[in-house]
Amino acid sequence: MNTTESQSIQNILKKKIKTPLIWIVIVITIGLTSLFYVSQEQQAVVYNRYVENLSEYKFLETRLMRSLEKTRVGSIEDSTKTATQIMSLREIAISISSSIENFRLQGEWMPPSSDVILFEREIFGKTGAMRQYLARRNNWSREVKIINDTLYKIPEIETGILLSCLDSARLGYTPSLPETLRISPEIIANIKDLLAENDDLFILWNRFDNDNALIFSENLLQAFKIKSINDEIFKSRVPQVFYFLSIILLLSTLFFVFRSKT
């Protein structure tokens, strides 16, 4: 190819590039490429995974509260399983919050940081109170069993009142110790200590027997659900736009070719 032909081709390209039609073709091509890239994103899979994890958290918390209720009334002697459930609840909350922040740092959409922080703090406080309650309640139940065994051996009518009082405390109530003179002062002192400990445990129980964590987890879950639905709606419209732009690109190309020939 000689210099004259090369310059001629350059002049033709410059003229074609200056025409509005070629820019329309370029813009449409870029638009189609962008639509193809967007259609390949799998963020809905990530959001659905968070929905599953948060749903699992809600299930674990509900199951854990049932286990703690059994611990409160003393129907579970081995609390190892309950302690494991507490740790699992804490770990899944940490996993959810940390992965959310990691995706946020990568520039992905995630729920507000304030909602994540509230969820994480509530779980930390809740599981901390649960572990403390579990240890203290188990020790309390052992002490009550010792006192009950002692009272059963005392042939006094008033022991029935004391046993009923301790049983009410075991069920989570805060009974008052009746006045009695025929029972050993040492036993009475031990029962008073147990009732005082029961009052403290009642307060500790109320620190985690609430729906705060469930509300925060539900807020995150709904945010992911809404985002996933919106993304699915958007992606359902991508093929329509893709076909429309493809037709325009085809017509523009044909028009450009025919115009070039003329």
- pLDDT tens string 130-158: 999 999 999 999 999 999 888 888 877 77
Query: Do the beta carbons of residue 89 and residue 123 sit within 8 Å?
Result: yes
Q: pTM, whole model, 2 decimals?
A: 0.74
pLDDT band at residue 262 using 50, 70 and 90 as cut-offs: low
Q: Is residue 132 packed enough to be buried (19+ CB in 10 Å), middle (13-18) or exposed (0-12)?
A: middle
On the question of pLDDT at 63 being above 90, the answer is yes
Contacts of 148 (CB under 8 A, 6+ apart): 163, 166
- How far is CA 174 from its chain centroid? 34
On the question of pLDDT at 164 being above 70, the answer is yes
Q: What share of the chain has pLDDT > 70, as a percent?
A: 71
pLDDT in tens, 197-247: 999 999 999 999 888 999 999 999 999 999 888 877 767 666 666 666 666
* More confident site: 47 or 219: 219
How many whole angstroms separate alpha carbon 242 and alpha carbon 32?
A: 6
- Two tokens, residue 6: 């090369």
- Outline where 153-211 has alpha helix (H): 158-170, 185-208
* More confident site: 220 or 77: 220
